[in-house]
Structures are given as structure tokens and as C-alpha cells.
């Protein structure tokens, strides 16, 4: 029996201080080329040669591998930016630039191991980001107060930041696997502790009524926005993205299909995240009345601004010059209004549970409420209706109606 290997099996030979071997493989572009492996001993090299030979039988094999940093740049520019939402690109880009590339960027993509990823996440949790990113050093010399003057402020990344960074790397490596640059996604094999969410008690209907009553009494320019958030459960971006074309006053309906988003240095008026988010929602009478009041307010703003009016999309909620409202400013204004009304401050996104109770108070039919709340089954809606206290909610809504009548 001849010891000679067949065509395509490759060769093992002495090389420098050890051995080298190669196998003829098919590259992802369909061409044939030699792929080399190296080892200190013949046995080690032979083992690597066998693994490479088995890999070549499964399908295309890349003969040249990029570093993690180079691949991540390609992934962001060619995959994420053209295909995902701008906010997703901003999030992924920040994770790559601040938390992944500085630690793993120099490693070869095909040599990145589970251990590398685990050690990176462990180290990331112990690195002060003020020091690493030079935040204090970027301040004027007179304003430097911690890391730049030798007094580390220990600004360690939160669990949420660590999880987001791991998720970004996992998403990138998933694409690397699909492009057959690597055989497995090592980031998906590393678990990170999930950040614990702090549960916040939502407002009762009485508290929501107090908030809306105060806003109506003060002729708040965002009163209609607060009504839509609390009575329809709309998200912040969805409310700010509404246009007057979205409202059908005759049919008493609102069409939600756009949102306002902050993406880096841009404020974008774009479609909602998914088609499932688009929907026609019935408008309770109080919401219709609030929107009509908003129309009068905006007409006054447009008249006062004159040539400075800049509304390009026909937005319902704008600044006094017609420009879109910054989403972060709406969150801050909500907290400010809550304190002004003498209420405990809750996050704007935590108003959805209160929304369901308000629908009960407005005598909205359960099937209509199911559409507004976007419940998959009517049983979920009926549970909400069963929990609501009618006497309390009616009292709160009566006060709100009175305040709106006085303002109108």
C-alpha cells in the first residue's frame, strides 16, 4: 500500500521551528486555494491538518481572516446601516466603538474563542469608562475633577451595557457564520447576568386624572399628547410622530404609522418599527376634544411664528416654531408636569397600565378596548375591566371633563 496521499489531501513538512501543513479547499467565492496550519510538533500539526480536512469536506473555507475590528467595521457599514433602523445602527456602533473594539479588535476573527469573550466581559465590568474613554480629560482643565487628576470615579459599565455589548458582538458573529468566515458563534455560548428591572407602581386612575386635570387647567400645549399616552397607551415616539392626516375626526379614528426618533445627531420622522405597530385606533370623545384644542393652540403658534414656522410633515405636536419635539424633552416635560401637579414621578413608558383603567372610565366597549390595548385575546381585556374601580375612575374623569370645559 502506497503511503502517498491522494490529490487534495495536502502535505505536512518541517517549517521553521516546527511543522506546517496545507489542504486544498474551496473558498467562499468558489475558487480553489491552499489553506495552511502550523504546529510545534508533527503530531500537533497532523491533528490540525485532520480538522482542516474535515472542515473542507463540509463546505467553503476562508483562507484569509480579518481581525475582529475590521470585520465589525464591515458589518456596521455594509449590513447594519443599510438594512436596520437608524437607532439600531447608533446602538450597535456605540457598543463596537466603546466596548468591543478596544478589547477584542486586534484578535483574528477565526481565532476568537469562548474564553476570549468571557474574559473580555469580566474585564469590561471592572474598567472605569471615564478613564477608558477619557471623559474627564476632555473637559477644560479647570473643570477636571476625577480620572484626569488621578482620582478615579469608578464609572463601571452597568449590567445593561455589558449585555448590550455582548448582544452586539453576537449579532456580528452570527453574520460572520452566515458568510462562512467562522464555523461557530462563540459569543452565543457565553451567558451574561440579565439586568434586573426595577418595578415601578403605575399611576392609579385618580392620579392620572389629577395629572390631566392640572394640564388642562394650565392650557398645556402637550395636553392632547398626555391624553393619547394615558388613554390609548401610545409610545412616546408614536405620539410625537402623529400628523393631522393621521386623525379622522368624522370617523373618530387615529392611524398610527410613524414615529419621531433621535438617532445620533438626527431627529427622524420615520415609519414605526414593525407593520404590527401600524393600526387604526378608535378615539374616545375626550381625546377628540383634546385634539381639537391642540389644533387651536397650533394655529396660534403658527400665526405668532410667521415666517419662522418650519413644520415639514404636518405634525400635531411641535415646538412653537413648528419643528419636531425632541423625544428626550418630552420625557423631561412629563416629569416636570407630574411634579407640578403634586404627583410622584413615574417613567413615561409606565403609563400603559393606567391606560387600561382609563378606558373603563370612558365606558369604552371591551372589544374596542382590546384593539386599543392591542391584546391578542379578549380575556386579557376583561381581566383589566374586572379590576377597575368604577366609582374612583368616574370621579377622576368628571373632574377632567370640567377642567377641559373651563379651558375650552
* pLDDT one digit per residue (tens) for the chain, 408 residues: 444 554 544 578 888 888 888 888 887 677 888 888 888 888 888 888 888 888 888 777 766 678 999 999 999 999 999 998 888 899 999 999 999 999 999 999 988 999 999 999 999 999 999 999 988 889 898 899 998 888 899 999 999 999 999 999 999 999 998 887 888 899 999 988 887 777 778 787 788 888 988 998 888 899 999 988 888 888 888 899 899 998 999 888 888 888 887 877 777 777 766 554 456 777 888 889 999 999 999 999 999 988 889 888 889 999 999 888 998 899 999 999 999 999 999 888 878 777 776 666 666 676 666 666 666 676 766 665 555 545 555 555 555 555 556 555
113 touches 186 (CB < 8 A): yes
Residue 351: per-residue pLDDT: 81
Residue 72: per-residue pLDDT: 95
Give counts: helices (H), strands (E), the chain: 17, 8
pTM: 0.67
401/395 Cα distance (integer angstroms): 10
Residue 197: per-residue pLDDT: 73
Residue 382: per-residue pLDDT: 66
Q: Residue 33 is inside which H or E element, if any?
A: strand 32-39
DSSP 315: B
128/151 Cα distance (integer angstroms): 11
Q: How many CB atoms lie within 10 A of CB 324?
A: 21
Residue 173: per-residue pLDDT: 95
Residue 8: per-residue pLDDT: 44
- Strand 279-282 and strand 253-256: pairing? antiparallel
Amino acid at each position: 500500500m502506497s503511503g502517498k496521499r491522494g490529490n487534495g489531501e495536502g502535505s505536512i513538512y518541517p517549517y521553521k521551528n516546527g511543522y506546517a501543513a496545507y489542504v486544498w479547499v474551496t473558498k467562499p467565492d468558489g475558487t480553489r486555494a491552499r489553506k495552511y496550519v502550523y504546529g510545534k510538533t508533527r503530531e500537533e500539526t497532523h491533528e490540525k491538518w485532520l480538522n482542516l480536512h474535515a472542515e473542507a469536506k463540509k463546505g467553503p473555507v476562508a483562507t484569509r481572516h480579518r481581525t475582529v475590528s475590521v470585520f465589525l467595521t464591515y458589518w456596521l457599514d455594509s449590513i447594519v446601516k443599510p438594512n436596520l433602523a437608524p437607532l439600531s445602527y447608533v446602538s450597535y456602533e456605540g457598543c463596537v466603538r466603546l466596548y468591543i473594539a478596544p478589547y477584542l479588535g486586534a484578535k483574528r476573527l477565526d481565532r476568537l474563542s469562548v474564553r476570549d469573550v468571557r474574559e473580555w466581559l469580566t474585564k469590561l465590568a471592572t474598567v472605569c469608562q471615564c478613564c477608558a474613554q477619557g471623559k474627564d480629560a476632555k473637559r477644560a482643565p479647570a473643570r477636571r475633577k476625577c480620572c484626569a487628576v488621578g482620582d478615579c470615579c469608578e464609572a463601571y459599565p452597568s449590567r445593561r451595557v455589558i449585555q448590550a455589548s455582548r448582544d452586539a458582538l453576537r449579532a456580528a458573529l452570527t453574520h460572520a457564520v452566515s458568510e462562512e468566515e467562522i464555523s461557530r458563534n462563540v459569543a452565543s455560548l457565553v451567558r451574561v447576568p440579565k439586568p434586573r428591572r426595577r418595578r415601578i407602581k403605575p399611576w392609579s386612575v385618580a392620579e392620572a386624572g389629577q395629572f390631566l386635570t392640572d394640564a388642562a387647567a394650565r392650557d398645556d400645549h402637550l395636553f392632547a399628547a398626555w391624553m393619547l399616552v394615558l388613554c390609548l397607551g401610545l409610545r412616546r415616539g408614536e405620539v410625537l410622530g402623529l400628523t393631522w392626516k393621521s386623525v379622522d375626526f368624522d370617523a373618530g379614528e387615529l392611524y398610527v404609522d410613524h414615529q419621531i426618533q433621535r438617532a445620533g445627531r438626527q431627529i427622524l420622522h420615520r415609519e414605526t418599527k414593525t407593520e404590527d405597530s401600524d393600526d387604526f385606533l378608535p378615539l374616545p370623545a375626550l381625546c377628540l376634544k383634546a385634539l381639537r384644542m391642540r389644533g387651536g393652540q397650533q394655529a396660534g403658534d403658527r400665526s405668532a411664528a410667521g415666517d419662522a414656522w418650519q413644520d415639514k410633515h404636518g405634525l400635531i405636536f411641535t415646538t412653537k416654531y413648528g419643528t419636531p419635539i425632541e423625544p428626550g424633552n418630552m420625557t423631561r416635560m412629563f416629569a416636570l408636569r407630574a411634579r407640578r401637579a403634586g404627583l410622584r414621578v413615574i417613567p413615561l413608558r409606565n403609563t400603559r397600565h393606567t391606560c387600561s383603567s382609563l378606558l373603563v372610565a370612558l365606558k369604552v366597549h371591551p372589544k374596542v378596548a382590546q384593539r386599543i390595548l392591542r391584546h391578542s385575546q379578549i380575556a386579557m381585556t376583561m381581566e383589566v375591566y374586572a379590576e377597575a374601580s368604577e366609582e374612583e375612575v368616574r370621579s377622576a374623569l368628571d373632574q377632567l371633563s370640567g377642567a377641559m370645559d373651563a379651558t375650552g
